Structure 1
């Protein structure tokens, strides 16, 4: 009985212990499950944070890489655009340089055969001496760092073309957001304009000026007179912002051609007429029309480099379209000027005048040069036609005043240059007189793409100031220098030299032509002597 009771008590204790242990196990298991869930949650949060950090790191690396790639592509685009602009300006400057050959042919053919060698030499000297003047101080005065908005003060002897440092040489460049252009290519392109302005003077003083004296004047023009005008205008001087509008002269009707034309007129007046010029006009007729026509065509072709190249860049479609517009307007104006003068002279004399046709073409070219980028084709025709009439009237006025300009340089370049400068504003392709484009080409003048109205009157006033300033500067300096040379006796050749011909008296090659025993030009002059006599007396 006692044993049975003991076993019962023992079983009861074991069962109670097992029950208590079971309860503790359940609680322990719950705690383990809770800890596991918390651990899993923390692991998930840690994994999410790791993924987020990896994504942020990946995004950061991608942005840096992308920006670097964009910058590299931009630099490549700028490099390509710069190369295209340089090629464009090199090509246009080379084409425009052919104009010197045109001037030489035109001037030689227009004058007498006895002075042909001298005229050819003088045109070559123009280019050579003008180049030295432009290199020495012309470039510096025109495009150096401006002082008082009047003259440049840096770059003498073209010292600002290259940078030499630590054994490395690189060109000096000026950059916009789209391309960079070196001073080297700008120097070369603007050199053509400078020497062209100087060469124009040669025609007005032909057949009676001393060669070495003229070379000295050409140096003065290329180093002082012409650079002064450029500094005020294209160089960013005081005329570039006159009346908050500035001047309008895309390729140099006034800056180049008026400078040369006024210099030619001043030289013709100071030198006086060639002996016998107005007593026996027939003796001074052009001796070679083939040379005159060849020179005219060379000038016409070279003018495309002159005008189209004045876009100064060709790295996008807008600039390409502008260059094309310039080419079309240049062509139309030249044709209109030539036809106008040709018909005018035919009506007056009932005879075909080849020289009139040639000079009419040149008058149209000069007239359109300032506004070739900011007027439509119909207006270009009108500008060329009116330029031809202005040339003809000015040429007739010179003859009436007995001012001897052998090639009509002052009429073609001076008078038509002034007209072209004013026509660039009058015929601007803004909507009537509401808007104004000027030197902006396709884009009207305004802010934030909004065209400003009421600018035409201010533009005309600014243009008058511009033309007056150029005329005053060139006329005053040219007159002072040429008068001093004339008074010193170093300007005009001797009378005996003028009568015998400069070639025979001063040149190693005494004849520019050596065809046959007597020479074709002299034989032609002798055969035409009776015709000239008939013309003088109006009886045949």
Structure 2
């Protein structure tokens, strides 16, 4: 029988197993079950970390909008997460990875483990292969689609109708995102023509597939929505509209920073062997140092450009570094990861100021953080990953952006024609908390 484990590990496993498991096949079966359990548990924990990013987006956006729009932005974030979970369950996962709607192909239990073990029984080694519950895979993937939709929320804040936004969320999470995801992580062809992976495209954890896609959907919405009243003067001058709660925005950023360890770390897809454990450790290390590099670079550049240490730029710089390294956190050295993150920190400051000059109003800087820096992350992958090519990365980026932007523009346009997507000028002035939710986040400020 072919050896699946090293002699030392096999002997240890047999010794621990005792006489009842003296048969080598039984020993291997139990070791396989242990790896299956570890990888499944790791997937679930990382998924929970990514789910916690929903709290980060909520706090970040609530801190960067005005107090009169806080309750509505929180409502959007909880509702979009819930819609994402339901739509991905109904059809999104089936579109992206195959299988039946309502997760009809998802199973668990001993029969699934037996089937998986039989499939691996003829191989020399388990190393490099992911073995985990398909239900854990769904859970990990569904929090990714919610992340993509959360990006849209901040960009259209303070002037979009709540129900128009939620209607878009249904289409985005149930169809637009799963389709482009199927061409990348799902391995399907783009309209039967080509597969992005076969062209040398690589996106480890979703700089393009998740983040740039969310930014493309947001950009389409912002272009049809228009800027907030008072954001730009008659001569094109940019007027700052400060957020209501910067401590909350800072908390949100740190929550996102923490959740990103699950976002990138979970994308290794396994933990149950030495090589994978080392890869996970490197991914965690590079994720952290890229965020630090982005934060410091953005802080320095904001001081040089504006004469002050801008906290919002510092926060967006950290997020920019995280987005950049998401495309490939496993192959750079820690030094290169820091440099890549710093490049993202510089780019996000320049992108935010550039979009303001174009009168593209993004209250939280989401399009710059996730779009501009998502593209940068994709373009940096071939620097350290020899399996990718610059041409493949460019084709992949164009394909993802074009698909999501065009589809989103169509959906936003249809919603604008049918129900309208922007609140009235009076409602915007009063704040969408009252007009959309009928309550304020800070009622103690309301005179009785």
TM bracket (short chain) = 0.7 to 0.9
Q: CA, structure 1 residues 188+512, in 2 after alignment: closer, same or farther (shift >3 Å)?
A: same
* Alignment partner of 1:250 is 2:204: yes
Displacement after TM superposition at 1:182 (Å):
2.1
Q: CA, structure 1 residues 118+437, in 2 after alignment: closer, same or farther (shift >3 Å)?
A: same
Higher Cα Rg, which structure:
1
Q: Could you tell me whether the CA contact under 8 Å between 1:171 and 1:184 is conserved in 2?
A: no
Displacement after TM superposition at 1:281 (Å):
5.7
* Partner residue in 2 for 1:369: 326
Q: 486, 489, 514: which is aligned to 2:443?
A: 514
* Alignment partner of 1:342 is 2:287: no
Displacement after TM superposition at 1:283 (Å):
6.3
Q: 210, 235, 239: which is aligned to 2:186?
A: 235
Displacement after TM superposition at 1:265 (Å):
1.2
* Partner residue in 2 for 1:487: 417
* Partner residue in 2 for 1:159: 104
Q: Could you tell me whether the CA contact under 8 Å between 2:295 and 2:318 is conserved in 1?
A: yes
Q: Could you tell me whether the CA contact under 8 Å between 1:368 and 1:380 is conserved in 2?
A: yes
Displacement after TM superposition at 1:382 (Å):
1.5
Q: CA, structure 1 residues 172+425, in 2 after alignment: closer, same or farther (shift >3 Å)?
A: farther
Q: CA RMSD in A?
A: 2.4
* Alignment partner of 1:77 is 2:77: no
Q: 44, 68, 79: which is aligned to 1:114?
A: 68
Equivalence map 1:375-454=2 (5 Å): 375-428=332-385, 436-437=386-387
Equivalence map 1:296-335=2 (5 Å): 296-335=253-292
Displacement after TM superposition at 1:245 (Å):
5.5
* Partner residue in 2 for 1:206: 157
- Give the Cα separation in 1 of the matches to 2:199 and 2:371: 24
SS in 2 for 1:162: coil
- Give the Cα separation in 1 of the matches to 2:175 and 2:377: 24
Displacement after TM superposition at 1:378 (Å):
1.6
Displacement after TM superposition at 1:122 (Å):
0.4
* Partner residue in 1 for 2:312: 355
Q: Could you tell me whether the CA contact under 8 Å between 1:161 and 1:171 is conserved in 2?
A: no
Q: CA, structure 1 residues 158+282, in 2 after alignment: closer, same or farther (shift >3 Å)?
A: same
Q: 250, 253, 261: which is aligned to 1:293?
A: 250
Displacement after TM superposition at 1:518 (Å):
5.3
- Give the Cα separation in 2 of the matches to 1:174 and 1:289: 49
Q: Which is further off, 67-76 or 228-237?
A: 67-76
Displacement after TM superposition at 1:340 (Å):
0.8
Q: What per-residue deviation string (whole Å, max 9, x for no partner) do you get for residues 280-337 of structure 1?
A: 9656211110011000000000000100011111000100000010011111110111
Q: Which is further off, 477-486 or 232-241?
A: 232-241
* Partner residue in 1 for 2:15: none
Q: Could you tell me whether the CA contact under 8 Å between 2:324 and 2:374 is conserved in 1?
A: yes
Q: Could you tell me whether the CA contact under 8 Å between 1:162 and 1:170 is conserved in 2?
A: yes
Equivalence map 1:129-148=2 (5 Å): 129-144=83-98
Aligned residues: 415
* Partner residue in 1 for 2:137: 186
Structure 2 unaligned blocks of 5 or more: 1-18, 121-125
Structure 1 unaligned blocks of 5 or more: 1-64, 145-153, 429-435, 439-458, 520-540
* Alignment partner of 1:216 is 2:167: yes
TM-score (norm 1): 0.73
Displacement after TM superposition at 1:238 (Å):
3.0
- Give the Cα separation in 2 of the matches to 1:243 and 1:475: 21
* Partner residue in 2 for 1:536: none
Displacement after TM superposition at 1:66 (Å):
12
- Give the Cα separation in 2 of the matches to 1:243 and 1:226: 17
Q: What per-residue deviation string (whole Å, max 9, x for no partner) do you get for residues 142-166 of structure 1?
A: 010xxxxxxxxx32111111389xx
Q: Could you tell me whether the CA contact under 8 Å between 1:172 and 1:182 is conserved in 2?
A: no
- Give the Cα separation in 2 of the matches to 1:190 and 1:204: 23
Displacement after TM superposition at 1:268 (Å):
0.9
- Give the Cα separation in 1 of the matches to 2:440 and 2:162: 17
* Partner residue in 1 for 2:6: none
Displacement after TM superposition at 1:246 (Å):
3.2
- Give the Cα separation in 2 of the matches to 1:293 and 1:137: 36
- Give the Cα separation in 2 of the matches to 1:242 and 1:227: 15
SS in 2 for 1:238: coil
The structure carrying a bigger strand percent of its residues is 1
* Alignment partner of 1:475 is 2:405: yes
